[in-house]
Amino acid sequence: MYVGRFAPTTSGPLHLGSLLAAVASYLDARAHDGHWLLRLDDIDEPRTSANAEKIALTTLEVHGLEWDGVIGRQTDHQDRYWDAIAQLRKENLVFYCTCSRRKLRDTATYPGYCRTRREKPSDPASIRVRVPNRNIAFEDRIQGSVESNLAVSEGDFIVMRKEAIAAYPLAVIVDDDITGVTDVVRGADLLENTLAQIFLIDTLGLAMPRYAHIPVLNQRNEIKLSKRDRAFSIDNRVPLLNLVSALHMLGLDPSIEHHDVHTLLQWAIEQWDVRNVPKKVAITDFISI
Ligand code: GLU
Ligand code: ZN
């Protein structure tokens, strides 16, 4: 049984790029007769807001993107994140890190300063996982083969932040495992992070989902689409237009007149083929309406 999901971070309203991810994951799930779950990535509580959450749900609703079952929340899974850390600790794969941002300022790859620190220090410390010095690879349904050596590209990465908030790569794989997600469809800004996730999934012995990373929307000057960027905010009064432009970017050609979002989505489900999605990590030449 196909289980897909859309997992927006609720620190602001959805932007056009997140709508694209929502539509792509929705269509892929429905085209496979699968479930489409909604999870609110609300673990970073200081940054999330109830109002942003409400707006995000309204956006999905007016665009006809109906999810299955109850809404999931990362804040419900705290215990499971700590269980995962305990499992990693048993295998001697985690250590406490007290390095300041300043200390790591000049290095993209964590140099391993705290690798031997097994006891919890009195100062607030993050928890990092040791990564192996070998290539990790996966086959993305859109982007093709992706491969990298985490020891070279990133180094030992943070799984628990010093504020005791699970870091994204750990949280996401635990969340997806709890809800039985078989297929992850999301923005290609997370393509590289997927290697860290795959490493954790393998190490914890969880089931490996399939991945499909759609292009993210960038402005011509390559500034990453940000939730704060008003140019990409979604106008909920014109859902049909928003959907038509999203479908174009996903490689469909919705030229037929559709009178409402439901018939348009139904048409798109029938047409959907992940192979039509542009095989690139960013789209710069899009028209925002
Ligand atoms: N919550 C993450 C974001 O909005 C995406 C998580 C995911 O799809 O894995 O960027
Ligand atoms: Zn350190």
Give 81-125 pLDDT, tens digit per residue. Answer: 999 999 999 999 999 999 998 999 988 899 999 999 988 999 999
Contacts of 182 (CB under 8 A, 6+ apart): 1, 2, 3, 4, 34, 207, 209, 210
Instruction: Label residue 224 by pLDDT band (50, 70, 90).
Output: low
- Testing ligand 1's pocket by substitution, the residue of 23, 47, 179, 190 carrying the most ligand atoms inside 8 A of its CB is 190
Position 228 scores a pLDDT of 46
Query: What average pLDDT score do residues 18-35 get?
Result: 98
Give 57-74 pLDDT, tens digit per residue. Answer: 999 999 999 999 999 999
Instruction: Label residue 220 by pLDDT band (50, 70, 90).
Output: low
Centre of ligand 1 from the C-alpha of residue 7, in Å: 5
pLDDT at 289 over 50: no
Give 169-202 pLDDT, tens digit per residue. Answer: 999 999 999 999 999 999 999 999 999 999 999 9
Query: What average pLDDT score do residues 140-167 get?
Result: 96
d(CA 85, CA 161): 12
- Of all residues in the chain, the percent with pLDDT exceeding 70 is 93
Contacts of 157 (CB under 8 A, 6+ apart): 110, 128, 129, 131, 150, 167, 169, 196
The residue type found at 166 is: A
Q: Residue 220: name the closest of 143, 286, 289 by CA.
A: 286
State whether the beta carbon of 186 lies less than 6 angstroms from ligand 1.
Answer: yes
Q: Is there a contact between 272 and 252 (Cβ–Cβ < 8 Å)?
A: yes
State whether the beta carbon of 172 lies less than 6 angstroms from ligand 1.
Answer: yes
Position 229 scores a pLDDT of 56
State whether the beta carbon of 194 lies less than 6 angstroms from ligand 1.
Answer: no
Burial of 259 per CB tally in 10 Å (0-12, 13-18, 19+): exposed
Question: Can you give the pTM of this predicted structure?
Answer: 0.93
Centre of ligand 2 from the C-alpha of residue 116, in Å: 10
Centre of ligand 1 from the C-alpha of residue 30, in Å: 20
pLDDT at 79 over 80: yes
